[in-house]
Each structure stands twice: as structure tokens, then as C-alpha cells.
Amino acid sequence: MNQEAPILKTEGLKISYGSTPAINGISIEIRPNRVTAVIGPSGCGKSTLLRTFNRMNDFIPNIKTEGQVWFRGQNMFHPKVDPVNIRKHVGMVFQRPNPFPKSIYKNITWGPTIHSYAGNLDELVEKSLKRAALWDEVKSRLHDSAFDLSGGQQQRLCIARTIAMNPDVILMDEPCSALDPKATARIEDLIGELRSRYTIVIVTHNMQQAARISDETLFLYEGNLIESGKTKALFTNPTKQQTEDYITGRFG
């Protein structure tokens, strides 16, 4: 279908928490500059899969990862690979907005600063906030606490913070689940604007959302990849019965 080289790729990825399997052998390819949605019922391994791509699973004790994961052709789990380096290029936005208890300005500059960013920080803040569609709302109060913002604004700040690192990939773990419909719509618009610059992988519970914003969709069920492909095709013409049952709301 696509000739482009995948930016992220897994082969026979198996993950288990202790003796509980979470993902049983998934092989997928994620292409650059697209929005890829990962859908599936609760506990199907969506978040676990997502957290593999920036090795956030490393912090969970007793987790076992088998199989291969490549980022730009590099084996992510090679013993010589530093996960810190991967996370510089693969950013993440979490389920609940989690700004640092600092000013809006410092929330954005902290990441670049610890990686000894050489450019102008003021410009970086402005650029990141503009890309996250938050600049106009906060430009007059950059040094106020990030907690003074609304939930939706906080989440856009978290996206701006991720953008400031100039990542290749942005992982989003149900970024709208804690937000109201209006704030959700703003984030969805934003994702549409960001797709030209970044590769976005978004986990979502909300199938309408996946259909609205993504180019490609992966459907996971009980740790297995059931179906994947172009979002339009998958939603209008699913090839598997399970996919059809899920997207028509028969279960999940």
C-alpha cells in the first residue's frame, strides 16, 4: 500500500506483566507524518503498546518485553540504546494533563534546557505555544502558574511542551479522556494541524474520534492485532467480524 519506510515498527512484540500477558505477538508498521489511531476495548493492550514506543514501560516492575521494536530502523531494545535518547525523539502526551507545578514558560523550557538547547528560549516558547494553538490565550501571562489554566488549556500546554523538544513522533494516550467536548474538539483540530510535521500515534476509547482524526487505524483486542489499515476503509468496510462488532458498538 505504502512505499514509505515506517518510522516505528514492531515484529512479534510480546509483553507481559508478571505472568499476565498484555500483548501477544504484534507486528505493525507506523508510517511517518500520519495520524495512527489505536482502538480497542479497555485492557486490550493499547496503552502498553503505546508506552513501548518511548520505553515508558521500563518503569514498571516485572514487565517482560519480547520481540523487536524499531525506531527509524534502529532496534529500540538493543542494550546499547539509551531510553533517554529515544524519549528525546518520541514525545508523549498523557491521559490527564500533567503540567509541572511551575510557570507556563518554564513548563515549555525545562525539556529543552536540560538537553542544553542553544537557541532563543523566548522564541521557542512562542513557537511551541503557537503550534499548540495556545499562544493567544496565554501570551500575556506566561509566568503564571500552569495550574491556573483550564484542563483543556493544560493539555494543550502539555502538547506544546512536547513540541518544544522537536520530536519526530508524538504519542498520545487518550489525551481527551479527562476533557469536556469543547476542549476535546480543540485538541482534535490541533492534531489535524500537527500531522504535517509530526508522526502521531493516538490511543483512544472513542471510535468517532479515531474515525475523525486518524489516517490509519489499528484495532486491538485482548492483546492481539485484529485489523489494521486506512481508517476510512476500516470503519466503512471492516474485513473481520470482530472489528465490525466493535465499531458498531456491539461490545467494548
Query: In angstroms, what is the minimal distance from the CB of 228 to other proteins?
Result: 25
Distance, CA of 200 to CA of 91 (rounded, Å): 10
Nearer to other proteins (CB atom), residue 85 or residue 208: 85
Shortest distance (Å) from residue 164 CB to other proteins? 9
Residue placing its CB nearer to other proteins in the complex, 15 or 146: 146
| Nearer Cβ to other proteins (39/86) | 86
Is 1 or 118 the residue whose CB approaches other proteins more closely?
A: 118
Shortest spacing between CB 71 and other proteins, in angstroms: 13
**Nearest distance, CB of residue 15 and other proteins, angstroms:** 18
- Provide the minimum distance between the beta carbon of 44 and other proteins in the complex, in angstroms, as a whole number: 21
Site residues for other proteins per CB under 8 A: 54, 56, 59, 84-88, 91-92, 94, 96, 98-103, 110-111, 114-115, 145-147, 158, 161-162, 165
Q: CB nearer to other proteins: give 45 or 91.
A: 91
